[in-house]
Amino acid sequence: MTGISEILKEAVSLSASDIFIVSGTAVSYKVFGNVMARDEEIVMPADAERMISEIFGLADIKKSTDEISREMDFSFSFAGVGRFRVNVYRQRSTLAAVLRNVLFDLPDSSALNIPESIMSLADSNNGIILITGAAGSGKSTTLTCMIDKINSERRGHIVTIEDPIEFLHKHKKSIISQREIGIDTDSYADALRAALRQSPNVILLGEMRDNETMSIAMTAAETGQLVLSTLHTLGAVNTIDRIIDSFPTNQQHQIRMQLSMVLRAVVSQQLLPDKSGTLHPVFEVMTVNSAIRTMIRERKTHQIETIMQTSKGMQTMDTAIFKLFSDGVITKETAALYASNPEMMSKKIELFEEGSL
């Protein structure tokens, strides 16, 4: 079976976003959202273990594969090839791995169709900005573009806390400290507490995983830092409810008050296949104004979408998806599939095709 070095080189040459090493099937690549087998050679458990040992060697990890009880995350750079984020795990008692191909060069927001309205959120001086969406929807890429904008335009200290580090930033106008969970710190919560003593202007928190991390992030935002983070939710309303519901009932009133004051914006994103098969980002944008603050405080988050539909600078996910359809970028089937309200989307498309809209 081919060695891991050749597999990595081939994956990068094919512009594969992910590499799958799982026993019982062939080594596979994800290319433009589609998983394809590299060849017909089946990976046996011993093959998977050997390839993962080779990955450990490239990553300079002094650990035997026998020491992996469940799963582990790390990242590494392969000279002349690329940078990879890795998750090694056990399935059916055998080792498996998924490697994400991370580009050395920082992403270009304009080339990735990230609107200027979203990039301009990075101009905020304090508060919390959340980028949300499903796994693999491009949240980390959007955050990286925002951090690079801050790093290029403002003087200050940026602290990133990631699991693992994906993109490597150079010091530009800002000083940038990048910390990786498991290597530079034990947990998000520990790193976030420490960041408050590191004189940061901006904190990037790779993910708000639990209410302890959320609570510390809100405290950081209250004390004047800009906090950028992600959640695996889709939609601004779902995101707000998810944060509040993660706390015990007796704390939720206080959290509503706190969140209403520190939240600046929620951006939700999805990647939709366009007519050529290329993935195209689509964004829901909610910026917090006085009306939305009141709705968060008074437990009326279900009314936020109405405000978004009528407020300048905001848009719901379905409005953004319909615009991609009406501009001819995606098919009506794709629009209905990814819409939060497929039935309403189908009716709107029907009216558009009839010329009634």
Domain 4-102 is in which class?
Answer: alpha beta
Considering only CA atoms, which of 64, 62, 39, 55 is closest in space to residue 99? 55
pLDDT at residue number 32: 81
End-to-end CA gap in the chain: 58
pLDDT attached to residue 80: 85
> Residue 158 to residues 47, 65, 144: CA-CA distances in angstroms?
42, 35, 12
Q: Tell me 355's DSSP state.
A: T
| Helix, strand and coil percent figures for the chain, each rounded to 5 | 40, 25, 35
Confidence at residue 62, expressed as pLDDT on a 0 to 100 scale: 87
Residue 349: its pLDDT value, please?
96
- Give the whole-angstrom CA distance, residue 309 versus residue 324: 17
DSSP string for 252-269: HHHHHHHHHHHEEEEEEE
C-alpha to C-alpha distance for 7 and 186, rounded to whole angstroms = 32
- Could you read off the pLDDT of 90-111 as tens digits, one per residue? 998 899 999 999 877 788 999 8
| Cβ–Cβ < 8 Å for 341, 335 | no
Residues β-bridged to residue 270:
282
Pairing relationship of beta strands 279-287 and 263-273 according to DSSP bridges: antiparallel
Which CATH number applies to 116-262? Answer: 3.40.50.300
Identity of the amino acid at 148: D
CA distance 250 to 136: 35
pLDDT at res. 156: 97
DSSP line for 26-46: EEEEEETTEEEEEEEEEPPHH
Output the pLDDT for position 268: 97
Residue 105's pLDDT is 78
Return the SS3 of 15: coil
Low-confidence ranges of the chain (pLDDT < 70): none
In degrees, to the nearest 5, what angle opens at C-alpha 29 toward C-alphas 148 and 51?
A: 95
Cβ proximity of 68 and 88 under 8 Å: yes
pLDDT for 103 equals: 74
Start and end residues for every CATH 3.40.50.300 domain found in the chain: 116-262
Specify the pLDDT at position 73. 87
Collapsed DSSP state (helix, strand, coil) of residue 144: helix
Distance (Å, rounded) from C-alpha 244 to C-alpha 195? 24
Stretch(es) of the chain classified as CATH 3.30.450.90: 4-102
